[in-house]
Amino acid sequence: MLTIWHKPYTVKRYTTDGTVELTVRMNVQPAKNQDHQNEPHGESTFLRLVSFGRVKIHSADEHTGQAADRLLYHGRWYDCTSCILWEHTGLRHYEADWVEIPPYGLEQERGHYDTI
């Protein structure tokens, strides 16, 4: 996989022992054909992202209770909704989909995001 467009991003992973903060090199882009939110001061907020990289990202698992990995992108947090391995070519890589977490969701869901 070509990694020239990869940049380091903060990913939070939730384990049985607590939270682990990782630095993962990925190519992160707004998802195609998506709605986006326009902020009052003219800035656009992307509600969905897609990333490409060599590290497997974890989506939520209802059976085990595992929480999804979270990505910090331009000051906003995103939950991983899916991650698939593309291994059919020499560019073997993972593709992950992310959805923005509204600020109120961060406070209500785990109750400890004042430290993020």
What is the tens place of the pLDDT at every residue in 56-112? 999 999 998 899 999 999 999 999 999 999 998 777 899 999 999 987 666 555 444
pTM over 0.85: no
Report if residue 75 sits inside a domain: yes
* Structural domain includes residue 25: yes
Can you give the residue range of the structural domain that contains 57?
A: 7-115
User: What integer pLDDT is reported at residue 109 of this predicted model?
Assistant: 52
What is the rounded distance in angstroms from the CA atom of residue 53 to the CA atom of residue 115?
27
Instruction: Check: CB of residue 100 under 8 Å from CB of residue 47.
Output: yes
In a domain, 39, yes or no: yes
Position 80 in a domain? yes
**Could you tell me if residue 72 is inside a domain?**
yes
Q: What total of structural domains would you count in the chain?
A: 1
Q: What band does 6 get if pLDDT is binned at 50, 70 and 90?
A: confident
Q: What is the CATH number of the domain that holds 29?
A: 2.40.10
Average pLDDT of the chain, as a whole number: 83
For residue 32, what pLDDT is reported?
A: 82
Is residue 1 in a domain?
no
Identify whether the C-beta of residue 93 lies closer than 8 Å to the C-beta of residue 52. yes
As given in the structure block, the two tokens for residue 28 are 């992160």
